[in-house]
Chain A
Amino acid sequence: MTFLKTWFPRGAEFIAAAMLAAMFLTFLLQIFSRYVLQTPFGWTLELCLTLWVWIVFFGNAFIVKERDHVTFDIFYLAAPRKVRQALALISAAAIVIGMVWAFLPTWDYINWMKMRKSATLKIPLRTIFSIYALFMIAVAARYAWRFYTVWKSGPPDSDHEIPGHEPEPPAIRHGEDAT
């Protein structure tokens, strides 16, 4: 249990941060190869795009918390606790059903992409896109767990807070600080 609670999230954060750092360094290498060496490496761009796809889906599967998502929660927050519990249950159930419903067809598509190889590194696209299948499984599992906890102990109040502060609801979330 301590593994799941502390080490797993830390490991996931480390991997996500490492992927972002790798993407950043690859980009610098690309600029360097083009303007200093005058012979651009073809593979840098492809690696960056692969890392980008992986950061998005790995991140949403393992490190993005409920409160980090871009949401529209004016009605949700205005509702009484009982109603909020029902709304949170509906959200979680809908996500689980959607992910499970689409999983097999989506996996068929991803599996079929093993025929196609990426342009320069010749990696099968199945390998690159497989993160999406992992994302679907992880998201289904996470929201199934959320459904269970919300059912048992009501909607968590921490979904809209920033650690270390006591902001008034609704507070800022990670997805929104991009703009």
Chain B
Amino acid sequence: MSFELAACLVTMFGLAGIGTPIGYSIILASLVYLGFAGLDLALAGEKILQGLYKSFVLLAVPLFIAAANIMNAGTISERLLNFCVAAVGRFRGGLGHVNVVASLIFSGMSGSAVADAAGIGKIIIEMMTKDGRYSRGYAAAITAATATIGPIIPPSIPMVLYALVSNSSIGALFLAGIVPGLVMGVVLMGMNTYLSTKRGFALEEPVPLRKLPKYTLNAFPALMMPVILLYGIYGGVTTPTEAAAVAAFYAFLLAAVFYRALTVKSLYSIFVESARSSSAVGLVIGGALILNFVVVSENIPGMMSEALVGLNVHPLVFLLGVNVIILLLGCVLDATTIILVIVPLFIPTCRELGIDLVHFGVLVVVNSMIGLITPPYGILLFVINAVTGIPLREMISEIWAFLGVLIAALLLMILFPDIVLWLPRLFGYQG
């Protein structure tokens, strides 16, 4: 390892470790690297500016953020929820199932797990804890667990970020997420049924079947959103990035015109908050761009892949190892940092070992979403704590069972790549 690289890493981990914003830590560390290597300091700004200015795919990030915020502000989430209660609320553990199904549908509209937990999650936790039918911890835990599906089923902001660092097709990645998302939904429903039966949770008053058409009709325009998005992307009408704009526009139409639940004032604050979020994420993306330059100049991924290929590591062992590392990192780091900073290190090795980059991408995204609910640093737990006031301790004591089945689902996806790759191959993905 060169001296300048060591200085760079010490600066980065040192500053980030004491609470300096990650984006600034990376930029400062890369300046230290450039300074010691005798290179022009302007390279940092140049790589960041050129990288942001040339990445068309990144435009999807602010647009998906705005779309998710619009959907949460309108009454779209409530309507979807009423539909789900009518459809699956009658079974044992009913509201738990409603939670999973609502997340599955919502994930086809938004690309963010946090939006899911803060919007639809907040409402359903209120329904579940009313009259004490479910404990607060259980309601919060299952909501956090189901919210992880959000970015697995397209659209997905983390997958856009992965596509940026791996140069793989967003279209293929989006398609590849659909079946894994459904698998996650199924295992969560299984665990919910098991726990509800064991603990004898109360049954819901079933909504009469003849009322189902009314609820369906009410939620129908919202239910059309995933269909429109997928048709747009795979029917060749829009690029995945343009689909983000269409999603935001459709959400706006629904909330403002159709459901009349959006005022000018709330729309304005949605744009302000979305701009704030996009800027904060953009800074980390910028940091990742310059860090990537440092990592490539030092040929770190090349050295890693040489070492691992030299050791004759079986691809499956490599995948399991990487997933264990990401799972552990997920306990302390947020998903954006993992995908943008850690994952690029492994990509050349994947190529050498013949691991499909779309398969790897879905595993990485699923894994880092599981990281959103692993204590002590689980962003979804913090969001739910912030919007409902349920103590972290109660959530964490209930999260383990759901965490377990999600990790089991991840293991299935590692062992059987067809779960991930079957659908994109059906649509002509060569890989």
Same complex for A and B? Answer yes
Interface, chain A (partner B; CB < 8 A): 13-14, 16-21, 23-24, 27-28, 30-31, 35, 45, 48-50, 52-53, 55-60, 63-64, 66, 68-77, 87-88, 90-91, 94-95, 98, 101-102, 105-106, 108-110, 128-129, 132, 136, 139, 162, 165-168, 170-179
A45 with B275: in contact, given A87-B18, A177-B112, A179-B151 (CB under 8 Å)? no
Interface string of B273-296 (1 = CB under 8 A from A): 111111111111110000000000
Are A172 and B18 in contact, with the CB atoms below 8 A?
no
Stretch at the interface among B56-64, B85-93, B100-108, B414-422: B56-64
Quote the shortest CB–CB distance from B177 to chain A (angstroms): 14
Q: List B residues 40-69 near A (Cβ within 8 Å).
A: 40-42, 44-46, 48-49, 52-54, 56, 58-59, 61-63, 65-66
Q: Pick the contact of A167 from B44, B56, B276, B386 — CB < 8 Å?
A: B386
Are B278 and A70 in contact, with the CB atoms below 8 A?
no
Q: Pick the contact of B114 from A71, A128, A176 — CB < 8 Å?
A: A176
Are B334 and A75 in contact, with the CB atoms below 8 A?
no
A-B contact pairs, 30 of them (CB 8 A): A16-B276, A18-B271, A19-B275, A21-B271, A30-B242, A49-B59, A52-B62, A55-B62, A60-B282, A63-B272, A64-B283, A68-B277, A70-B22, A70-B336, A72-B19, A72-B337, A74-B376, A74-B377, A75-B17, A90-B18, A94-B20, A95-B20, A98-B27, A109-B46, A165-B389, A168-B385, A176-B334, A178-B112, A178-B336, A179-B369
Note all chain B residues with C-beta closer than 8 A to A70: 21-23, 280-281, 283-284, 334, 336-337
Q: Does B139 touch A at the CB level, under 8 Å?
A: no
Q: Pick the contact of A178 from B21, B44, B65, B246 — CB < 8 Å?
A: B65
Q: Pick the contact of B44 from A17, A95, A102 — CB < 8 Å?
A: A102
Note all chain B residues with C-beta closer than 8 A to A168: 385, 391-392
A170 with B42: in contact, given A48-B59, A176-B334, A178-B61 (CB under 8 Å)? no
A106 with B245: in contact, given A13-B272, A53-B53 (CB under 8 Å)? no
Note all chain A residues with C-beta closer than 8 A to B284: 70, 175
Q: Report whether over half of chain A's contact residues are helix, strand or loop; otherwise say mixed.
A: helix
A76 with B19: in contact, given A55-B279, A105-B40 (CB under 8 Å)? yes
Q: Does B175 touch A at the CB level, under 8 Å?
A: no
Quote the shortest CB–CB distance from B58 to chain A (angstroms): 7
Interface, chain B (partner A; CB < 8 A): 15-24, 27-28, 31, 35, 40-42, 44-46, 48-49, 52-54, 56, 58-59, 61-63, 65-66, 112-115, 118, 151, 157-158, 237-238, 242, 245-246, 248-249, 268, 271-286, 332-337, 368-369, 372, 376-377, 379, 382-383, 385-387, 389, 391-392
Q: Report the Cα distance A132→B27, complex, angstroms.
A: 13
Are A69 and B31 in contact, with the CB atoms below 8 A?
no
B15, B54, B369 pick with most chain A CB within 10 angstroms:
B15
